[in-house]
Each structure stands twice: as structure tokens, then as C-alpha cells.
Amino acid sequence: MSNTVIDALKNRRSIRKFKKVQITDEELKTVLEAGTWAPTAMGFQDPWIVAVQNPELMEKIAKLNAEVWGRDVNPFYGAPTYVLVFASRPEKWANGVPDASLVLGNMMNAAYAIGLGSCWINREREMFETEEGKALLKELGVKEDVIGVGALALGYPDMEPLTPKPRKEGYYRIIK
């Protein structure tokens, strides 16, 4: 069976090279809104989404992520927009991380659907648990009682997506 949505889910790939052109406000809002429509446990809508296009703030975020990673690179691959996703700490809301993960997935698929590239960036939990990260939360206007779940590098692709790997044997089962 095939349709536009299924084809997009099969063809979306992480992009790790972006054009040096900022995405439009309409494109950004489309991606962010798609994130807000991700399913959340009990409709609680726990995640917080923060898009960052301010170059100075982006530099701080990339630097902190690289430090946590232990590498001297831009972990956001030079994307013109970063989208950070936060959730309540698990002891406050057990479904926060799964809900935020669905938000990130929705945004990656929406980005692909409108011609943007994205890549999930890790280490946000570790970043925002540092003192510098906690100060950054305040600068971002996010309450301190959250954890970073993930982020997206977002922009216009400046590379061809990689060929998908074949799906592993036995990835799913049907038991009747």
C-alpha cells in the first residue's frame, strides 16, 4: 500500500549539510505546529518547543552541545534554525520523554513534507543539566524544572539524502 504520507515516512532522511539561507517564518511555523499535533498521553501536551534563530544564542547552544559530546564541531551541522524540545522530569510526568519524542518525529516528517531538511540532535538532557545549561534555560524562557529531550537542526538541505539501509529481517511480527 502506498500514499503520500507513507512514501514520506519511507523517504525522509537526516540531513547533515544545510544551505546558509534562513527558512521562512511560514515554514518554521508549519513545522512547529506539526509538533503540537503529535499525540501526547492523556492529551496533556507536556512538551515545550523552542525554535532558535538568534546567531549568538545558537552559538552558545552549539558550543555547549559540542562540549558535552567531547568534540570540537558544530553538532547542528550549520543549520540556520535549531528547535529544542523539553519535557517534564520523569518523576513529575512519566510520559514526558515519549511525548516529546513524538513531537520531534512529527516535526521531522513535516519538515520533509515541505522541502526542508532536519536532523535529530542528541545530548540536550546532559546540556541542560549543567550550570551553563540551566542559565541557558532562563535565557530561552523555559522553566528550570524540565529536561532536554532532543533538538532538530532545521533548514534547506545542501546535500542529497543518503540511500536508506534495507530494513532488518524480523523487524516486525504479526501474531494472530
Average pLDDT over residues 3-15: 93
> Would you say residue 14 lies in a domain?
no
CATH code of 120's domain: 3.40.109.10
Query: Domain of 122?
Result: 20-155
> Would you say residue 149 lies in a domain?
yes
> Would you say residue 43 lies in a domain?
yes
The x, y and z cell numbers of residue 120, run together, are 535529530
pLDDT digit string, tens, across residues 75-124:
999 999 999 999 999 999 999 999 999 999 999 999 999 999 999 999 99
Tell me the pLDDT band of 149, cut-offs 50, 70 and 90.
very high
CA 74 to chain centre: 16
- To the nearest whole number, what is the mean pLDDT of the chain? 96
Distances (CA, A) of 86 to 12, 79, 102, 142, 151: 23, 20, 12, 9, 9
pLDDT digit string, tens, across residues 10-56:
999 999 999 999 999 999 999 999 999 999 999 999 999 999 999 99
Residue closest to 12 by CA, chosen among 98, 85, 119: 119
| Alpha helix stretches (DSSP H) within the chain | 4-11, 25-36, 55-69, 96-113, 124-127, 131-140
pLDDT of 2 over the 90 cut:
no
Query: Which residues 6+ apart lie within 8 Å of 76 measured at CB?
Result: 58, 61, 62, 65, 82, 121, 151, 153
Answer whether 127's CB lies under 8 Å from 66's CB.
Answer: no
Average pLDDT over residues 159-165: 91
In this predicted structure, what is the pLDDT of residue 57? 97
Please, what is the Cα angle at 67 between 51 and 121, to 5 degrees? Answer: 40
> Would you say residue 98 lies in a domain?
yes
Tell me the pLDDT band of 1, cut-offs 50, 70 and 90.
confident
> Would you say residue 27 lies in a domain?
yes
Number of domains in the chain: 1
> Would you say residue 50 lies in a domain?
yes
Give the sign of the dihedral formed by CA 103, CA 138, CA 67, CA 161.
positive
> Would you say residue 29 lies in a domain?
yes
Residue that has been written with the C-alpha cell 492523556 in this structure: 42
pLDDT of 60 over the 90 cut:
yes
> Would you say residue 174 lies in a domain?
no
Answer whether 158's CB lies under 8 Å from 19's CB.
Answer: yes
